[in-house]
Chains A and B, each alone.
Chain A
Amino acid sequence: MDSMQTLISSITIAKPWGIDIPNYFWFTGSSAAAFIISSFAHVFGWKKYKPIAGISLLMAFVLLVAAPLNLIDDLRQPGRILNFFLYGWENFPTSPMKWGVLLLLAYPILIFFEAQALYRPYFVRKAKKSGFLGKIFYTVMTFGRTDLSPEALDSDHRLGFVLGAIGIPLALAVHGYTGYILGAVHANVMWHTPLMPIIFLASAMVSGTGLLILLIPFFQRFLSERHQVDTDMVAALATLLAWFIVADLVMRFLWLTFSLTFADGEKYALYSYFRLHFKDTLLIDYLLCLFIPLIIGFTRLKHIPVVVYFGGLVTAVGVWIFRWNTVIGGQTIPRTTPGFLRYLPPVTGQDSIVSMLANWGVLISLICLVLLIFPWDEEMIDCYKGAEHGQQ
């Protein structure tokens, strides 16, 4: 040994981003994925996904309405939110956070209008059937267009197509920018890779599909008048999930092989981090949460709904863990003090476990609200009827 250095005393700062941020990333990612899946039918015309396109669109909407609440909770001065819109526009080209908030505003508005175009004929019918208050409410939801002629329905369809087509890049951007936020930080050896937006998008498709695998059968079985799970759709989603996992694994493989092997001197910090977390990462993140659902999706196991639900659950949870490991794990890597930092989220208060759970509570409430307002069930049943007629 030539020399030895020992730290006697130093100070390191508390890292700024806590549990809210991985949760936010998970919400936006899952929203983008749900939107893309809804676009399979609305934009690309894949009839197979038509029955779940409407409900997927609504899930994309609620996830994205609930997501920014995490960000507001993370702010130390949430009362100054207007400052974001008023000041600092000279930093627009270099601050991905600046792009993000604009995307976060535009995207849910676009989804809302797309959902309105999709469900307008149902609102018109509901308005006719409902009592006084219901009539007013559903008439407002039609935006004053009560025409049900084939031309009007065709115009709804075209509007849905156009908004869906605009929405695809917007959905990719609304989650891709979160990857930019991290990737732009050259001070963080784990985050700083141009692959970060793509990695985030790939894992988002995984978590979003996993979430839909859990939610759609639940809605169909317990909340729909059909009372029947479309097991073919569950199997189709399991295969789709498996393909998204393939994309995710390819991205992560590229990221890790380059950053651990061919990067400059700072790769040692990353190497050390993954060595420390090797077992957790390999067994939980990769084996349980990615490889097992991958096998389910590409084998006959996909025809056993319970197995697919398990696969959906572990991928959704697994991607949440991945977001945590990236955001929190990246911040634990030392910059000016030896040793990894530690972070345990507080139980109560701002940016805490309770605030994150409260955000999930908001999400569940919003899901209930849109399920009440939008005639998703009738539209889904109509799609199934249409598919049956098509087959005959």
Chain B
Amino acid sequence: MGKENSRRSFLKTGLASTGLALLASSKANAFSLKNPGRDAKDARYIGQKGKHFVMVLDLRKCIGCQACTSACKVENQVPSGQYRTFVTETEVGVFPQVRKAFLPQLCNHCENPACVPVCPTGATFKREDGIVVVDNTVCWGCGYCISACPYDKRYFNKKTRTADKCNFCAQRVDKGLMPACVETCIGGARVFGDINDKHSEVARLLANFPTTVLKKAQGTRPQVFYINLDDRVTELFDTTQDLDDMVKAEQGFEREWMKVREEATNNG
């Protein structure tokens, strides 16, 4: 009986000390279902109640100038070699009927995002105005959200060493400004606004034009809408053979091409 008691007291002491250690650590960092910023009702985390921000990309007006790409990098201090948004440039058709087609891409701020529910630290979440953001003071850099995004629009920021992506320039939007890419778009292809405001430009465009979203079958309900999106361009996404690489391989350039790629990767 005495032996049993000694084991019990050993376990009791162990449990008590573990409990105390946990209590001490939770005092420094409060335990939370969400994350500290959301618990503190910080305006940057809550967003603008009653609004729902979306973007409409009118591809008839995009000229592939990459001004949006540059403006985004400057505004958000995106490290070199990394991008929150960019414009894919393609050629469609058969000679002589060939044209260039551009596809600006960014985080889709999905209504049902694949990235948010898998986050084990609550670092990424959807604000009340629909903007999906990442708290880079909480993110531990596991990469689960990056794997989960069907659009490949998340990446590890080289500076912060956390997941990063487009946040619709929430820091500007909260001050009543437009996102940097929208502000700079010379063709007016990027339109941003509150869809709950029936007089907004986005509401007008969505009401008057047929729009589509990327990878609808993923069930994520993207909030970035495209006007005049050519199926031939999105088909490229699922193409497992890169025509350019195939030609290079056939002509014996493959090794050289790999070398260039590696150098580019090493140089960031």
A335-B151 CB under 8 A given contacts A7-B243, A97-B142: yes
A5-B232 CB under 8 A given contacts A76-B162, A186-B218: yes
Shortest distance between the CB of A162 and any CB in chain B (Å):
15
For chain A, give the interface size range.
35 or more
Using CB atoms and an 8 Å cutoff, list the residues of chain A in contact with chain B.
1-17, 71, 74-78, 80-84, 86-91, 94-98, 101, 143-147, 152, 181, 184-188, 264-266, 268-269, 272-273, 276, 331, 333-340, 342
A5-B90 CB under 8 A given contacts A16-B146, A143-B10, A146-B3: yes
Per a CB cutoff under 8 Å, which of B118, B148, B151, B240 touches A336? B151
B88 at the interface (CB under 8 A from A): yes
> Could you say which residues of chain B place their CB within 8 Å of the CB of A337?
88, 152, 237
Interface residues of B, count at CB 8 A: 72
Contact between chains at A86 and B29 (CB < 8 Å) = yes
The 6 closest A-B pairs by CB, nearest first: A76-B141, A16-B143, A88-B122, A339-B242, A187-B150, A94-B117
Contact between chains at B89 and A9 (CB < 8 Å) = yes
Contact between chains at B94 and A1 (CB < 8 Å) = yes
Shortest distance between the CB of B232 and any CB in chain A (Å):
5
> Could you say which residues of chain B place their CB within 8 Å of the CB of A6?
90-92, 243-244
Contact between chains at A4 and B240 (CB < 8 Å) = no
> Could you say which residues of chain B place their CB within 8 Å of the CB of A181?
144
Question: Chain A: interface secondary structure?
Answer: loop
Contact between chains at A4 and B92 (CB < 8 Å) = yes
Per a CB cutoff under 8 Å, which of A83, A144, A146 touches B10? A144
Cα distance, A276 to B123, chains bound together (Å): 38
Please name 4 further chain A to chain B contacts, defined as beta carbons within 8 Å, in addition to the given A7-B89, A13-B146, A90-B122, sorted by A numbering: A3-B232, A97-B144, A145-B4, A186-B150
A–B Cβ pairs within 8 angstroms, 22 of them: A1-B94, A3-B93, A7-B242, A11-B86, A15-B146, A82-B25, A83-B138, A86-B29, A89-B31, A90-B122, A95-B118, A96-B118, A143-B6, A144-B3, A144-B10, A145-B3, A184-B148, A186-B150, A187-B148, A334-B237, A336-B88, A338-B236
Cα distance, A88 to B37, chains bound together (Å): 12
Shortest distance between the CB of B95 and any CB in chain A (Å):
9
> Could you say which residues of chain B place their CB within 8 Å of the CB of A95?
117-120, 144
Contact between chains at B119 and A76 (CB < 8 Å) = no
Closest residue to B66 on the A side, CB-wise?
Answer: A9
Per a CB cutoff under 8 Å, which of A3, A265, A272, A335 touches B241? A272
> Could you say which residues of chain B place their CB within 8 Å of the CB of A184?
118, 148
Contact between chains at A331 and B237 (CB < 8 Å) = no
Closest residue to B118 on the A side, CB-wise?
Answer: A95
> Could you say which residues of chain B place their CB within 8 Å of the CB of A144?
3, 6-7, 10
